[in-house]
């Protein structure tokens, strides 16, 4: 029983540790999942913002190029204000591309190189506009021609960066989905482990409860359960004015069995007697092993006379038993003491047990293998042994080979 108790405690500890580890894993996975979702949301927002700025600037630039090609751009468009507008337009494209391409070191390197070239061209354009020497118009037209190709490269590289960013987002979404699946799988596994642990712990608790309530050798109720049930039945009988009886059984010469044939033979005898008592008892009766070779039978709503008749049947049945062990046949007899609750005296379970124990002692003293019942009414102490009545006497049967 101690081993099972420690196994039960160990199972509780392991289940608790598994639950704690599982909760930590779930919390960690949830934190990672939340972080990845936050990163994904930030990247999605950044991509959307800079992509919209980039393509808006690119559309404005295309409109300037189309006007140039259609001859709608005259020298007034190449004024200082026009140059500044064009400068802001180009820088807007490059800045949006730069921010967008920050997601990709390869694209960032290319765009920085393109930006340095474009910055040089724009610086020349600004210098010409400041000198107002007429070169700004030519520089602006050249920038529209040469810079258009350069901006095309910027947009192309940035578009490629956006595509790669979108691909990264898709991979991130897939990874997030995988983490979610792993999280769900972990939760299911954790639930299965916890349920399995609870089943094991519950089974061990039932086993512990069974061991705490039953005799390990015979499977009958043990002394503690018998005493508790006896007190409960006596309280019920007293409340509702019902009878309750008690039979104590002690095997005769049991020590000789252990001494001559060993404890395995004694165990076989105990199990045989326990099975016989259990088979003959009523469903409402409680049969228990309360000592080494001592048994007790609690009989609710049973009078002393009815309990004495039942004890007589038990005595005869045990005397008819035999146990085969090591080539020998062992005969069995037992002595019985019967008592019933005294409503006119002490109605406690302890008092009834004491009366039955005294009757059992008298049965042993009178030669064993017999039933003696305690009296219902109090008699004078001077009568001595007359306070016990012999309700059945059976010729003793001794242990034999």
- Among the residues of 70-147, which ranges form H helices? 80-101, 105-131, 135-142
The CATH architecture to which 223-393 belongs is 2-Layer Sandwich (3.30)
Write out pLDDT tens, residues 350-385.
999 999 999 999 999 999 999 999 973 333 333 333
Band of pLDDT at residue 12, cut at 50, 70 and 90: low
Nearest to 162 by CA among 56, 62, 54: 54
More confident: 317 or 121: 317
Beta carbons within 10 angstroms of residue 400's beta carbon: 9
Write out pLDDT tens, residues 250-282.
999 999 998 888 899 999 999 999 999 999 999
Taking the C-alpha atoms of residue 367 and residue 299, their distance in angstroms, rounded to an integer, is 26
Mean pLDDT of all residues belonging to the chain: 73
Secondary structure E strands in 317-374: 322-325, 328-331, 334-340, 370-373
Sequence ranges of the domains in the chain: 2-194, 223-393
Band of pLDDT at residue 107, cut at 50, 70 and 90: low
More confident: 360 or 70: 360
Please provide the DSSP assignment of 366-385 as one string: TTSSEEEE--SS---GGGGG
Taking the C-alpha atoms of residue 217 and residue 153, their distance in angstroms, rounded to an integer, is 92
The CA radius of gyration of the chain, in Å to the nearest whole number, is 50
Average pLDDT over residues 321-338: 90
| Position 338 pLDDT exceeds 80 | yes
| Poorest-pLDDT segment among 95-104, 316-325, 357-366 | 95-104
| Poorest-pLDDT segment among 89-103, 237-251, 330-344 | 89-103
Residue 129 has a pLDDT of 63
């Amino acid at each position: 029983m101690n081993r099972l108790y420690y196994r039960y405690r160990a199972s509780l500890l392991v289940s608790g540790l598994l639950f704690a580890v599982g909760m930590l894993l779930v919390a960690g996975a949830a934190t990672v999942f939340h972080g990845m979702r936050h990163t994904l949301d930030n990247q999605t927002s950044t991509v959307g913002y800079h992509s919209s700025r980039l393509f808006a600037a690119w559309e404005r630039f295309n409109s300037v190029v189309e006007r140039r090609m259609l001859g709608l751009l005259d020298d007034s468009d190449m004024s200082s204000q026009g140059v500044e507008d064009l400068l802001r337009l180009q820088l807007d494209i490059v800045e949006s591309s730069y921010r967008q391409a920050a997601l990709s070191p390869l694209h960032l390197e290319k765009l920085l190189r393109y930006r340095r070239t474009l910055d040089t061209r724009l610086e020349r354009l600004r210098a010409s506009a400041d000198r107002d020497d007429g070169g700004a118009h030519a520089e602006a037209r050249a920038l529209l021609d040469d810079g258009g190709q350069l901006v095309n490269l910027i947009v192309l590289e940035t578009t490629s960066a956006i595509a790669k960013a979108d691909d990264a987002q898709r991979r991130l979404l897939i990874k997030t989905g995988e983490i979610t699946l792993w999280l769900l799988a972990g939760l299911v596994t954790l639930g299965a482990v916890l349920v399995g642990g609870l089943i094991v712990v519950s089974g061990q608790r039932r086993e512990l409860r069974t061991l705490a309530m039953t005799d390990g050798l015979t499977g009958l109720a043990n002394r503690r359960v018998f005493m508790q049930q006896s007190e409960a039945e006596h309280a019920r009988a007293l409340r509702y004015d019902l009878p309750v009886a008690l039979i104590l059984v002690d095997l005769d010469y049991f020590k000789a069995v252990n001494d001559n044939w060993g404890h395995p033979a004694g165990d076989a005898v105990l199990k045989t007697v326990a099975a016989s008592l259990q088979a003959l008892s009523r469903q409402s009766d409680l049969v228990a092993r309360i000592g080494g070779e001592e048994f007790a039978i609690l009989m609710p709503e049973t009078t002393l006379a009815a309990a004495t008749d039942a004890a007589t049947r038990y005595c005869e049945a045990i005397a008819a038993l035999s146990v085969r062990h090591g080539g020998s046949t062992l005969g069995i007899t037992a002595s019985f003491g019967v008592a019933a609750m005294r409503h006119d005296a002490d109605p406690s379970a302890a008092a009834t047990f004491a009366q039955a124990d005294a009757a059992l002692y008298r049965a042993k003293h009178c030669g064993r293998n017999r039933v003696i019942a305690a009296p219902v009414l109090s008699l004078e102490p001077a009568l001595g042994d007359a306070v016990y009545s012999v309700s059945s006497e059976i010729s003793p049967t001794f242990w034999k080979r």
